[in-house]
Amino acid sequence: MIDNLVYATNSMRNSVAGLKKKLSNLRIQVESFDAELEKINLKFDNVVTQSEIFKSRLEREMGREVRRLEHELAILHKQAAKGGIPEPPSSAELQISATVAFLDSLMRHISRDADDFRLASEAFLFPAVFERVMISSDYYIETVPACTDLVISRGREYVDWIRSEYYTHLTNPETWEDAVPYIAEWWRNDALPLIYGARDEQWDIDVPLSLQEMMVWRDSPAERPLQFPSIFDAFEIYEKHKDAILETSGLKEFEIKRFGVDK
């Protein structure tokens, strides 16, 4: 009788131990399943994010490309009405070239060795100014504005502030996400209103290009004509006419003066 009781007790203990082991294994499997599910959710979120970036870029590029082509078509109509006489070199292309030359010089003087700040600035200025200058004379900067030295001074102060707030380069993804909206706000509310003499409400709807887009611009020049057609065209026009506008835009005199200030 006692032997049977001991046997039954041992059997029950073995069963309980077996159940505990199975329960432990099941718990491990559930935790592993949860971890895999979290990985799948993260991958899905990344796919959604990338698709939204692509959709936003495609809508922006296609919309502005259509307007650019309409602008070029209007020019061709005017040329046809004049019997095929081309536009004189003193009009649109020279003014686009002067605008790009000034902004390029301005960013160079503000950023100096802060290439990441320049890249972040371009992320906003590309859609806000560079693309628009291809389709609207409202964004032309034909001569160096009188406020340029002030903008450079404020810009350098802003670079110093950015450096004091962030301990990594702006090309760090987390830093980019946090800092670029502040840099865009500075251009939108301070620098550009000084340069243009007024604030443009269109700048409020401009979203800076993503870090991924700007890295493509910086590191893959061969991709620029396809990925950034309007911006690429603006720089091409600048390269074509930069010698012609150096004197008329006041850039030559400005650069000489800045050389004396910065040396």
| pLDDT at residue 55 tops 60 | yes
pLDDT digits (tens, 9 = 90+) for 80-97: 666 555 555 548 899 999
| Token pair belonging to 14 | 């073995």
How far apart are alpha carbons 19 and 24 in whole angstroms?
A: 9
Please, which residues have CB within 8 angstroms of residue 98's CB and are 6 or more apart in sequence? 140, 141, 142, 143, 245, 248, 249, 251
Buried b (16+ CB within 10 A) or exposed e, 204-242: eebebbbbebbebbeeeeeebeeebbbbbbbbbbbeebb
Token couple for 161 = 């502030």
- C-alpha closest to that of 195 among 152, 147, 237: 147
| Euclidean distance between CA atoms 198 and 129, whole angstroms | 14
Dihedral sign (CA 57, 63, 66, 68):
negative
Amino acid at 202: Q
Q: Where are the beta strands (DSSP E) in 60-150?
A: none
pTM exceeds 0.85, yes or no:
no
Q: Residue written as tokens 């628009």?
A: 132
| Structure tokens that stand for 29 in this block | 């499997």
Q: How far apart are CA 33 and CA 54, in angstroms?
A: 31
Residue 211 has pLDDT above 90, yes or no: yes
11 band by pLDDT with thresholds 50, 70 and 90: low
Q: Region 33-45: what's the mean pLDDT?
A: 76
pLDDT of 140: 95
CA-to-CA distance for 230 and 234, rounded, in angstroms?
6
Least confident of 10-19, 32-41, 82-91: 82-91
pLDDT tier at 15, thresholds 50, 70, 90: low
- Looking at the chain, the whole-number percentage of residues with pLDDT higher than 70 is 75
